[in-house]
Structures are given as structure tokens and as C-alpha cells.
Structure 1
């Protein structure tokens, strides 16, 4: 008898044990990988989960984990970069985890140790399906702007970053050969810029996807110039309102149950959160990282952040907002 049952719920597969005491860390790894490559979103329900089990499960699929510098998260395991999700109560627009950084994780794991009492559903949106909807909804000019343009994430550079990436701290052009940033002088000091396609191809699908920080930057943090288009123009609120409206039509809510674990392709899916009642004592863990089978992807990027001696928390880039 198979150890698990896979139930297709549309945007994700629900994975259930076939016996009461089946352990999350014992189920067939290859079966999970195949399901993940196809769907990109798996919800494990009915297994016992605690922080140690969650860590072992995530590590069985990842070479390394990545640190999220948001001030709104609590670090629970510094060695393995296990954190809580954002501890606030407000709704979170859809976003791709750490999309502003070159070391954007390939996969995100979430574990519910204590579900919210009201609200707080995690939202999931397939970036591939969103592009298909936008192709029908946007005018030709906006379609071209997304498909032909780039997004620029520009931040004020920290001294730690400059020390790390520059061979000569007095020469902004003396960047290391593996540096993914450009450093420029601005009226506010020295800034680092990271450039990515406005629409990209996920790791496991040869189709364009929408997955970035535009919605959360504009509709939560009210930022109009982060990120901006590679031609120097701002992304219009009208365009993003259309993206937001179309995304909502294909957004699915995960109603958390205790011990649920969600495995999400961060190159394909965006995620967010519905609002939570204040003082809710929910506890949801997160662990994001780099897949140990990623080299099988046509879009594999072997950046320095994948190396064991890189540190994965240095240089720390705190959230701009």
C-alpha cells in the first residue's frame, strides 16, 4: 500500500498519510519531487509536525537555507534559518519571497504549529496562470512593457555590502566577478541595483510567470519607485491594479490546520496572507532555501550563495520597508 495519497485541489496537491502514524520524514522523496515539479505547491496534511520534524523535512530537499532580514519575523533557529512568518496582523499582498535579492530562495516551506483562530489564511497564486490572464486583460503596450522590460530593485548599499562585494572600497567598479549588483553614486549616497526580467520563466516550466515584489511594495508599503522598470520609468498603479484584480480571481486560500506543512515553488507561485484578528497567538514557521535537485532545471543559477562557505546570512540586507 502506498504511504501517501495525493489529492489534486486545483492550485495545489494535498498530500495525506495512508496510516495514522506515518511520519512526514519517511514518505517517498522521489514521489514528492515529481509532484512538486508538476504542481509547484504541495500541502501536507494529517502528519505530525513540530519544529524538529519540520527542519528535517525541509533539509531533506534543500542544500542550504536562506535568511530573511525582515524585522517582523522571529528567528527560532539561527543555525538553520528557521523563522516565524511575519508577526503582524494585517493582510499581506501577494509576493515572491525575497524577490529583490539575487539569493531569492527556490522553495519555501511553511509549518503550522498553532493555527489562527480567525482569518490568517495563506494565499497562493500561480504566476504562470496570472500571465495568461494578463495577456487577455492588458492592452498591447502594457503587455510589451512586462514582457520586454526589466525590474530594478535599488537600495541604499550598506557598508557591509560594499566591503563584501568590492575589491577596492574606493572604486565602485572594482566588484567581485561573482557580484550580482551594480553600485552607483546617488544624491542619497551609494546604492546597489539588482536587475531581473519583469516576467520570468520558473525553474520547472517553460512559460512566463509573474513573481516579484510589485504588489506588496505598492499596495502595502505605498512605494512607487521600488522596483522600477529598467528603462527608468515607474510601474503605473493602473497596471498594478489590473494585476492585483486578475490575481485575486485565481488566488487560493490555505485554511491552516495544526501540523499542516506547505511546500511552495518560489519561482512560480506568489503567496500572501489574509488579515488576522489582533492578539491571535498563531505560530507558523518558515524555512526557505535552495533545492538539492535544482541542477536538473534548465534555469538553474549557480550563484555564490549556494556555496557552503558563503554564510547565507552575510551580507545581511534588511527589508527596505
Structure 2
């Protein structure tokens, strides 16, 4: 049985409260999925979720979990991780959207919120796309984003791809199955990968265009070319996107035991800066089986 539901900020997201003293593992998977498909973000509150329960709950929805080699794991399978270290703010991005194997969902579990600030921030990529000018929309429709990785260890690539990637041929087969990927195996048991993709994602459930990508990280944090033609976005486009992000910022004000399920094909996420080093938020990544 699904309990009390409220809006999450001004977004389509929902807060689902535990009003029947339920274990979160007893929630209806079918009902939860229907809420998720329409909302894109669910904050499960008052269920007292632990990182292990986050993993167990996510397994009911997931066909596969994905290893995040950039984070510190706390379980033997390396699926449950601390979120990014440090206390600085993190700018809008979709998880692993700069790599060929983007997860469908990012799950967050908070065990210790920061005393002040430190909220997880999120942005609806559909609304971001709707706010963009026609000139900017044309830019992002006409150019692909380009990401390059040199000397990725084969074992790390196996972990990202999943349990079926046992041999070099398995890895090649998976890389060949993804549009926009070129690669080269190196003599030192590493792989160099180049990935081009659209910044505009057709959302999995409502099939609307979403500005859901890794563009802003590269625009703000590097001097590298972003587009496949070797160019970067103009200052005017960057200023427009920054204004839109500022306008559409939503917050998850963490309480201990909160769990969040977020559509990674639609929503970008980030973090507000904080000073409380006791803050603990964990994450896992998965592909849905629905």
C-alpha cells in the first residue's frame, strides 16, 4: 500500500511518506513504478532506509546494477558508494552521461544530513529544454557532445559494462552495440574510448526532449572543446543556461533515513556546498527492468 504523497518542491517529483509503519521493501513495486514514471523523482521519507536497504529495494526494480569506478564503495559488490567526497558544491549533471553506459536511475540514501545546507539539488531536463531559446535548441540539436578517455584499464571497463563482460570479445561486442562509440585496445591492457552523443535525451517514459547531459560540467570546469566539431558553446549560450539552472533549481532537504529514486534520463543533479563533515549520503546506479 502506498501512503501519503506530496509534491517535492515545485517539480513533478513526489514525497512518499511512510504512514503505515511499513518496511520499504513491502511497498508495491507496480504502484511505485507508476508514480516514478510520471514524476521522475521520488523521495521516500520516514522509512529509515539504510544503504543496504537501498540496494535491496533497488533490486526489485532493476535488471542490472552498475559499478561507479569514480567513487568509494562500501559493499563487496562495489555497487553501493559514498557520494563524491569533499564539501564543495557540485554543478548540474546526469550520472555517467559522458560515458557510453548511462544508468537509468540514480539512487541516493542519506544516513546523516548536514546540520546546515548540503542539500542534493536537481533540475528537470524537460523544463530546462523548454526554457532554452530556439537558437540554443538549434545549436544542441545540430551538434553532438564529444568525450574522450585514454588508457582506461580493461578491468574497470568490465566492471562498468557488467557481469557479462568476461572477455575482450565481450567488451568489444558491448562497445560496438552503442551508437557513437569508437575505441582502441592498447598493449598495456587499457582501452582508449571516444564517445559522441546528443545533449538532448528522449526521456524513457514520457518521450519528451530533455536537456539531460554532462555539458555543464565540461563548460564550467574545463577548457576543452565540447562539441564534435572542436568548438565550445558561446558565452551567451552559457549565460542563458546558467540563468535557466538558477531559475529551476530544486532541493532535497535531507533527513536521516531518506531514500531518493531519480530518473537519470530526465533529471540532472548536483549539490549545495556545506561545512558539516559528518554528512553521509550514499548512492547506487542501476538499469530498470520495466
Q: Is the 8 A contact 1:67 1:81 kept in 2?
A: yes
Aligned position for 2:188 = none
Point out where structure 2 has 5 or more consecutive residues left out of the alignment.
Answer: 159-164, 186-190
1:231 to 226, 229, 232: 229
Deviation at 1:60, TM superposition (A): 1.1
Aligned position for 2:194 = 193
Equivalence map 1:72-87=2 (5 Å): 73-79=71-77, 81-87=79-85
How many residue pairs are counted as aligned between the two chains?
Answer: 272
Aligned position for 2:211 = 210
RMSD, aligned CA:
2.6
Deviation at 1:167, TM superposition (A): 7.0
Q: Is the 8 A contact 2:2 2:31 kept in 1?
A: no
Aligned position for 1:310 = none
Deviation at 1:163, TM superposition (A): 9.8
Deviation at 1:255, TM superposition (A): 0.7
Aligned position for 1:97 = 95
**TM-score normalized by the length of structure 2:** 0.86
Aligned position for 2:62 = 62
1:286 to 280, 283, 288: 283
Alpha carbons of structure 1 residues 257 and 198: separation in structure 2 relative to 1, 3 Å: same
Aligned position for 1:150 = 144
What stretches of structure 1 move > 6 A for 4+ residues in a row? 161-168
Aligned position for 2:6 = 7
**TM-score normalized by the length of structure 1:** 0.78
Determine helix, strand or coil for the equivalent of 1:109. strand
Determine helix, strand or coil for the equivalent of 1:76. coil
- Cα offsets for 1:26-56 (capped at 9, x unmatched): 1111111000000100000111212222221
The separation in 1 between residues aligned to 2:106 and 2:81, in whole angstroms, is 12
Point out where structure 1 has 5 or more consecutive residues left out of the alignment.
Answer: 169-174, 294-321
Q: Is the 8 A contact 1:224 1:235 kept in 2?
A: no
